[in-house]
Amino acid sequence: MGDLLETMAAYQAYGVLAFILTVFATPVAMHLAKRLGVMDMPDQALKPHAKPTPYLGGLAICFGWAAALVWAMLRGAVDWHILLPLLLGGVLMSIVGLLDDLLELSPKLRLSLGAGIIAAVLISTQAGFRLVDSVLGPVGIHAPPVLAVPVSVLISTIIVLGACNSANLIDGLDGLCSGVTAIISLGFFLLAAHLAAYDYSGQGDPARLALAMALFGAAMGFLPLNFNPARIFMGDAGSMLLGYNCGMMIVLFAEQGIIRWVLGGLMVFALPIGDTSLALFRRWRCRRPIFAGDRSHFYDQLVDRGMSIRKVVAISYAMAGLFAVLGCIPIWLRTRYTFVLYALVAVAVILVIRAAGMVRADEPGAE
C-alpha cells in the first residue's frame, strides 16, 4: 500500500493538470462549436437528446491530455523517446475523429487512417513487439523475431484500433464514455503502479503511469459538462483518443512478454469490449450492416426497457468498476489461474446477457 500511495503522489500532478485544463477548455470548445455550427442534431432514434448539442468536446479532452504528457516529458519524468510518439499518435487519432465529426468519413477510410497511425506509433516505440511471445511463451513456443515482431505489430494494431472503435460505440449516453473511461484508467494505473513497484521496466513503467493519469484527468475534466443532461458531446475526436489511449495501455503491458498483464488490461477494458461484441453480434443476427448505427448496445436496451439515462450510466459505472477490480487479479494470481478465472467471467457474462434477452433478434427477417 505504501508503494501505491508513493506512486500516486508522484504521478497525480499529471492527472490534476489534465483535469484542470480540460475543465477550462470544455466551455471554450462548447462556445467554438456553437459559433461554427458544429452541433449534434436530435433525431429521436439514434440521437434522442432533447435539443441540438455542441460537438467539439474531444478538442478539450485532447488539449488536457496532451498538455499533461508534455509536462511529464519536460520534467524528465518519462523518456520522450517512448512518450512523444504516443502523444503524437493520440493527437492524430483525435484529428481523424474530428474530421469524421465534421465530414462524416467513410468507415473504411477512418479505419485505414487509424490503422496507419497506430502501426507507425507501435513501430517507433516498439510497443507490443513481444505480444506474440506473451501468447506463445506460456506453452513453451518461441517464434523467431522475423516472424514474431510483424505478427505482434499486426495484432497490436488490431487491439488498439478495436479499442478506439469500442470507445466510440460506448459513447451513446450522457456521461457514459467519459465516466467509464475514467474508471478504466484507474484500473490501468493500479496495474501499472504494481509493476513500477517491482521496477518492471525503466522506460515502460513511467510511460504507463503518465498515460493512465493523463487519461483519468482529461476524462474527469470533461465529465461535469457531459453528464446528463449533457451540454456538450465529445464526438469521435474524443472517443477515438480515449480508446487509443486505452488500447495503447493494453499493448504496453506486453512489454516483457508476460501474458497475464495483457489479460489484466483487457479485463479492465472489458465493458467496452463486451458492448461492442454484443452490438456486432446482434447486427449480424438481425442481418444488418456491421457499420450501421442502431440500438443494439446494452445501454440502449436498458433505456428502451424504461430505465432512466442516469440509472443506466450508474449501472455502467458499477460494471466498469467491477471489471477494473477483476483486471487487477493478475497481481495476486499466476497466469494459469488468471486464464481460468477470466474464462469463467466471460461465460458468466454471456449467460447473464442471454438470460436478459439482449441477444435475441428482434427485427423482421432475423432468425
Question: What are the pLDDT digits (tens) for 96-120?
Answer: 999 998 888 888 899 999 999 999 9
User: Which uninterrupted H or E stretch holds 201?
Assistant: none
Supply the pTM of this predicted model.
0.93
At residue 265, the pLDDT reads 96
| Residue ranges of the chain whose pLDDT lies below 70 | 1-2, 43-50, 291-293, 361-367
Closest among 65, 124, 105, 125 to 246, alpha carbons compared: 65
At residue 323, the pLDDT reads 97
At residue 162, the pLDDT reads 95
What's the sign of the alpha-carbon dihedral 203, 208, 214, 218? positive
Largest CA distance in the chain: 60
Q: Are 219 and 243 in contact (CB under 8 A)?
A: no
At residue 196, the pLDDT reads 92
At residue 47, the pLDDT reads 61
At residue 42, the pLDDT reads 72
Q: Which residue has the cell 443532461?
A: 229
At residue 361, the pLDDT reads 58
Q: How many CB atoms lie within 10 A of CB 61?
A: 33
